[in-house]
Structure 1
Amino acid sequence: MSSDTIPFDEASAEALLMRFLAVDGVTGHEAAIAAEVSASLVEVGVPPSMIKYDDAHKRIPLPTETGNLIATMPGTRPGPRLLFSTHLDTVPLCAGAKPKREGDRIINEAAGAALGGDNRTGCAVLVAMVETLLKHNLPHPPITLLFTVREESGLHGARELDPDDLGGAAMGFNVDAQVPANLVIGAVGQVNWQAEIHGKASHAGVAPEKGISSTLVASIALAEAHKNGWFGKINRAEGKGTSNPGIFEGKPGASAGDATNVVTDYVHLVGEARSFDENFAVQIAAAYEAAFETGRLAVADLDGNHAKVKFTAKPSYPPFQLPEDSPAVDRAKRAAETLGLSAMTLHSNGGLDANWLVRHGVPAVTIGAGQHEIHTVNEFVDLPQYFDGCRLAIAIATLDD
């Protein structure tokens, strides 16, 4: 089926996008947008009995209004069940967005806010795809639709998903990128780490030698990580990856230290390690732990006492890599070709719901739908790319096996 033969209604797809962009749903507060998407699915012909919410929010360690939204559709022809996924939430900067069409773009006319194309484009693509399939009776295999929560704050909805709720999907197609036919077939994994340093306060002008500076311990540790090649972009014989200590603070909501005349007694650092090799990401975090031990031993008070350091590391999401010839990648490539699009496979240095979908046993390719300048006040949606994203989803769903 070529782009000329797909009976796709651009005006209806644009209306869906504008409808979803106008609904707030920052991460953790997805109830309103989930209800809007659910209502739109019913409007285009999905029976309410085929739509449900799971209980993933009960397992997410952050307050979350609702579970993942899941819809299952029977096939009109034989074939493996296909999963189409996207996420419901936006970053907090998108609160109060007011979408407006300007030429071939959807922009935000609300000052100081992002638009939310990430990922209202994905929500609209999935509903537009279903509308097209049902309205025109296009043959398709069984389909599961997945709209996840809390993607933007840690991929939590996809992580806490029960794979059995996907109905035995054989392959997945996640809508969460920019250019439709730039197929993301692999992504890094991430380990998050924290270091709490308990030093000892003293008067910095009268008796600094009686104190143990947590700031100095942390500074030596970071310098040690940098010296040994574990800071920033990492390219070692053992592997490749990145790291970043992103937060350097005191007690929650406070600075590291209270005054210039007091030796800092407490510092809290939060960082990350990323790699396409799951074990190497763990190794990066372990190198930071060793660096903090070096920093701890390098600083002592007048009596030879050292700081106490509590270091913890926890995997955030696993990496994945789909073979170029895997069925999911092949299907996406062939679907793009039917539309005259040039498919290209890419790897992401950021996490996606696909990271967890693959871990749950569903090989998932991420496709795009025109989202640009995401997470910024300059965000916009490129409508021609969005329409191509809709057509690509339809082509994937209707492609002969």
Structure 2
Amino acid sequence: MRPASEAEKARLNDTFADLCRILSPSGEEAACAEHIERELRGIGLGVERDEAGNLLARLRGRGERTILLCAHLDTVPPHAPVDPVLVDGAWENANDGILGADNKAAVAMLIELARRCSVEGSPVGVELLFTVQEEIGLLGAQAFDKSQLKAEFGYVFDHATAIGEVVTAAPTLYRVEAEFLGKSAHAGIRPEAGHSAILAAAHAAARMPHGRIDPETTANLGYFHGGVESTNVVPERARLLAEVRSVDPEKAEAVLAGIIDALHDGASHGACDVDVITSKQVLGYRQKPSSPAVVAAEAALRAHGYEPKRIATGGASDANVFEAAGIQCVNVANGTEHNHEPTERVTQYALEAMLDIGLTLLEEAATA
């Protein structure tokens, strides 16, 4: 398909800025979804919204193959109004807060891709899916009924690194919740009668795996809370939340076992009880470079002067959910920068380049 015209690029930038102005933290995507639904219906597409709030629209293709293109509507909490401004050729928030390029750069690109295809047609059938609550555990994608998809494979555009990177491996993620139960007592009169849940939890925290375990594996203690707002009570309760991620599922399980051992050791040290709940939140994956989805993505990148670079990531995306459902899904870097930070930005060049790459991807996916 021909590259985007100057008029299309200008509209893409306007679409992106309009989307960024609509605050849509996880769980509060309704206004953004309504805006997108109006845009899609305005170009003649039917739009379905499920109970979770996900939006699905379809484009007919000239061939028999159908692919999935996906982006998420939610952002991390904004903490400030979003006023998109151009600074030296890049979109930034004029206020001290996120811009929302994660993932509205991809949302804007898909809207403009759909606008072109609604007029000129598409080499391949396209299912456009806009998900909710991605940032808090891929909840929208998990709630979505994948059985209604006809796509052979798909793409998300949700990796905030330089254009050219293609995520071919993503992690398995475990969440760990631990509730320590000790015994309260007056801290000044009979502290020996108490069993401090905070000390037990602290002992566990100091001994559990943390940070970068190896190039493929990480562990993090993200939440620690206990006691009451009084210093004269030996604290009876404490709670920890932790996670483990690894592209290698066996390594993830080994580190998870180390965390569980540390939690029980801490409880024993403090003469407390502990309830531990573990859940596999995300299933990891590895993709073959020879798969049609990867081949098409790399061909589209090369067509626009980018040398593809296959990478493994420690971050999960909606691609994990579709992979687990049996739909190969490639996460393609979209050139956004500093996602989840007040310095978040995306250059006009990257935004416009991704539209051209997306249009070419339709041709490559039709024949891969």
TM-score (norm 1): 0.86
Q: Does residue 1:234 correspond to 2:213, yes or no?
A: yes
Q: Choose which of 157, 163, 176 in structure 2 pairs with 1:175.
A: 157
Q: Residue 59 of structure 2 contacts residue 118 of structure 2 at CA under 8 Å; is this kept in 1?
A: no
In structure 2, the CA distance between the partners of 1:7 and 1:295, relative to structure 1 (3 Å rule), is closer
Q: Does residue 1:273 correspond to 2:273, yes or no?
A: no
Q: Which moved more, 1:391-400 or 1:329-338?
A: 391-400
Q: Secondary structure at 2:78's aligned position in 1? A: helix
Q: By how many angstroms is 1:245 displaced?
A: 1.4
Q: In the TM superposition, what are the counterparts of 1:89-108 in structure 2 within 5 Å?
A: 89-93=74-78, 96-108=81-93
Q: In the TM superposition, what are the counterparts of 1:186-201 in structure 2 within 5 Å?
A: 186-201=169-184
Q: In the TM superposition, what are the counterparts of 1:30-179 in structure 2 within 5 Å?
A: 30-43=29-42, 45-47=43-45, 50-55=46-51, 57=52, 67-75=53-61, 77-93=62-78, 96-109=81-94, 111-135=95-119, 137-166=120-149, 168-178=150-160, 179=162
Alpha-carbon separation, structure 1, partners of 2:260 and 2:250: 15
> Which position in structure 2 is the counterpart of 1:295?
266
Which runs of no fewer than 5 residues in structure 2 stay unpaired?
A: none
Q: Residue 23 of structure 2 contacts residue 78 of structure 2 at CA under 8 Å; is this kept in 1?
A: no
Letter of the structure 2 residue corresponding to residue 46 of structure 1: G
Letter of the structure 1 residue corresponding to residue 109 of structure 2: V
Q: Residue 368 of structure 1 contacts residue 389 of structure 1 at CA under 8 Å; is this kept in 2?
A: no
Q: Which moved more, 1:27-36 or 1:337-346?
A: 337-346
Q: Residue 296 of structure 1 contacts residue 309 of structure 1 at CA under 8 Å; is this kept in 2?
A: yes
Q: Choose which of 3, 6, 10 in structure 1 pairs with 2:3.
A: 6
Q: CA RMSD in A?
A: 1.9
Q: Residue 296 of structure 2 contacts residue 361 of structure 2 at CA under 8 Å; is this kept in 1?
A: yes
Which runs of no fewer than 5 residues in structure 1 stay unpaired?
A: 58-66, 251-255, 300-305
Q: Does residue 1:19 correspond to 2:18, yes or no?
A: yes
Q: By how many angstroms is 1:103 displaced?
A: 3.1
CA deviations 1:146-191 (Å, max 9, x no partner) are 100000111101112211222x201111011232321112211211
Q: Does residue 1:246 correspond to 2:222, yes or no?
A: yes
Alpha-carbon separation, structure 2, partners of 1:324 and 1:347: 12
Q: Residue 25 of structure 1 contacts residue 95 of structure 1 at CA under 8 Å; is this kept in 2?
A: no
Q: Secondary structure at 1:83's aligned position in 2? A: strand
* Percent of aligned positions that are identical: 28
Q: Does residue 1:206 correspond to 2:203, yes or no?
A: no
Alpha-carbon separation, structure 2, partners of 1:189 and 1:120: 25
TM-score (norm 2): 0.93
Q: Find runs of 4+ consecutive structure 1 residues off by over 4 angstroms.
A: none
Q: Residue 24 of structure 1 contacts residue 96 of structure 1 at CA under 8 Å; is this kept in 2?
A: yes
Q: By how many angstroms is 1:312 displaced?
A: 0.6
CA deviations 1:26-84 (Å, max 9, x no partner) are 110111111111111223x233xx310122x2xxxxxxxxx210001111x21421110
Alpha-carbon separation, structure 2, partners of 1:221 and 1:142: 53
Letter of the structure 2 residue corresponding to residue 120 of structure 1: K
Q: In the TM superposition, what are the counterparts of 1:320-335 in structure 2 within 5 Å?
A: 320-335=285-300
